[in-house]
Amino acid sequence: MAEPKTKYDRQLRIWGEQGQAALENASICLLNCGPTGSETLKNLVLGGIGSITVVDGSRVEVGDLGNNFMVDDSSVGQSKAKCVCAFLQELNDAVKAKFVEECPDALIETKPSFFSQFTLVVATQLAEDSMVKLDRICREANVMLIFARSYGLTGFVRISVKEHTVVESKPDHFLDDLRLNNPWPELREFAESIDLHVSDPVIHKHTPYVVILVKIADEWAKSHGGNLPSTREEKKEFKELLKAKMIAIDEDNYKEAIDASFKVFSPRGIGPNLQQIINDCKAEVDSSSPDFWIMVAALKEFIANEGGGEVPLEGSIPDMTSSTELYVNLQKIYQAKAEADFQVMEQRVKSILKKIGRDQGNITKMSMKSFCKNARKLTVCRYRILEDEFNWPLQPELQKYLTDEDYSAAMVFYILLRAADRFASNYNRFPGQFDGEIDDDISRLKTIAVGLLSDMGCNGLTLTEDLINEMCRFGAAELHAVAAFVGGIASQEMIKLITKQFVPMSGTFIFNGIDHKSQLLQL
């Protein structure tokens, strides 16, 4: 068997050893192992998830061979859960796999405690009533939950968790933490020791842009009452000042300074998202508080005191045109400041742990270092209870989605998927499952959908006839291509939740295979 570091090399580059360890310690429960469920779980098994439990009470039928690659001819008549489980384990023998031959709906109804043993439950192809019940069960047990469903050429994915905190959110675009608009004494002292008017052209073109910007910003502030550029004209004038310092057209360091000058103009202090987190009621901690909120409480104290309105410095600098000596010295200054900030944070965390009666070693140094490094990018996700979304959707959003051309098809599919469940509850089958009744089913589904709209507080609104017809034409079929796509989205979000890296999506993800579009509805 391949060594884990070799086996999972590419993904380790994305979420690191901590993320991989979280995956390998996770226990996943899959409800219904049709194409959508099988494709979802396949991605996690290949990624090295710790253990899986497949729950499905059905038998493999001939029709399953056309849309589920996890079963074959020899599987017909056998337990679907057993066959899928065996196939998945073949993909990665390091994953522990077991199956339960029981109908998920019955399990939800009769054995709610069953779900408390898992890290995360992924429920596929469940009807609305079972979704609401399972959501309540998992929230009470603090078990993460993801719903996924494919239905003809549409499908959805929806996360349901009380609260999910992310330290390593890894945003695509985020300013380097250079503090050019608020340099600390050691950085300012280092910049002041370097002469920008040096006559040697080689030295002049190898002065790091960080030094150039700190010095020019300081020069600007002295002649502008201590203020940095704020208006469009001032920013333009600041860039012209940088250009005037160039002594040759090939000075890349000055070009970098001009390109990075916006970092000087950015506001000091913390952003609104972080402000909201440190002001959250959960930042008032007690002995039962999660580690994340204890570190937030320490961060709040740091910002108000030693940080002077700023978070701990990250301590890294980007590549830039510079002499090796100046770059290394600059790097050491940033690293020293980051280490000093970390030590202050560490003491504050320990002080809070002692105050609330917990062991001061409860939170590891590695966790605190990661928290300090990512303090500007912390994220807290909270999800509405599914029952609240179904019964009391957010009216402004609902009206916007129904009338907005970009969102209307996704919103109609959201309504029709719910209407299809009501149809099945009334008629013991889904609309369009029998060819001879499609015309009648279209009329029935339309009536149910209009009634659902009324229940949601949207009287008088109509739905697109074409999409109602398509919904009946789907006949509740799980198409493999759609199931694979929906399963891919679901497994991606599961990895985010388990590793606590990257920000999981909020709201209900709707896939529209007719128009090749996806939308996120926040209801």
CA 176 from chain centre, in angstroms, equals 21
Residues 137 and 17 reside in one and the same domain = yes
Residues 189, 81 within the same domain: no
Position 86 scores a pLDDT of: 92
Q: pTM value?
A: 0.90
Q: Which residue has the tokens 């709040």?
A: 300
Does residue 126 share a domain with residue 16?
yes
Q: Which contacts of 342-350 are long-range, i.e. CB under 8 A and separated by 24 or more positions?
A: 342/312, 342/368, 342/369, 342/372, 344/302, 344/306, 344/312, 345/295, 345/298, 345/299, 345/302, 345/312, 345/371, 345/372, 348/298, 348/301, 348/302, 349/294, 349/295, 349/298
Looking at the structure, tell me whether residues 216 and 296 fall in a common domain: no
177 inside domain: no
What total number of domains does the chain contain? 4
Domain that holds residue 412: 386-474
Per-residue pLDDT tens digits for 352-407: 999 999 998 889 999 999 999 999 999 999 999 999 999 998 888 988 898 888 99
Contact 169, 503 (CB under 8 A): yes
Is residue 29 included in any domain, yes or no?
Answer: yes
Q: Token digits for 13?
A: 């580059």
Residue 176 lies in a domain: no
**At which of 265, 297, 323 does a domain end?**
265
Domain CATH for 112: 3.40.50.720
Among candidate residues 265, 290, 313, the one where a domain is terminated? 265
DSSP 402-445: HH-TTTHHHHHHHHHHHHHHHHHHHHSS-TTSSGGGHHHHHHHH
- Which of 452, 474, 496 terminates a domain? The answer is 474
Task: Give 321: exposed, middle or buried? Use CB within 10 Å, 0-12, 13-18, 19+.
Answer: middle
Q: How far is residue 353's CA from residue 357's CA, in Å, rounded to a whole number?
A: 6
Residue with tokens 């909270």: 382
Indicate if 32 and 163 belong to the same structural domain: yes
Specify whether 34 is located in the same domain as 148. Answer: yes
Tell me if residue 317 falls in helix, strand or coil.
coil
Q: How many CB atoms lie within 10 A of CB 158?
A: 25
Residues 374 and 500 in one domain: no
pLDDT tens digits along 423-446: 999 999 999 988 778 889 999 999
- Residues 296 and 409 placed together within one structural domain of the fold: no
Residue 331 included in any domain: yes
Q: Answer yes or no: do 23 and 125 share one domain.
A: yes
139 found inside a domain: yes
Low-confidence ranges of the chain (pLDDT < 70): 1-5, 460
Query: Any bridge partners for residue 380, and if so which?
Result: 165
pLDDT at 2: 55
Q: Are residues 362 and 402 in the same domain?
A: no
d(CA 247, CA 230): 27
Evaluate whether residue 329 is within a structural domain: yes
| Tokens 């002499």 sit on residue | 323
Considering the domain boundaries, does residue 144 fall inside one?
Answer: yes
- Say if 180 falls within a structural domain: no
Task: Tell me, yes or no, whether 102 and 138 share the same domain.
Answer: yes
Say how many residues make up the chain: 523
Residue 516: per-residue pLDDT:
93
CA torsion angle 234 239 241 245 (round to 10): 170
Helix/strand/coil (H/E/C) assignment for every residue in 192-214: HCCCCCCCCHHHHCCCCHHHHHH
**Do 207 and 146 reside in the same domain of the chain?**
no
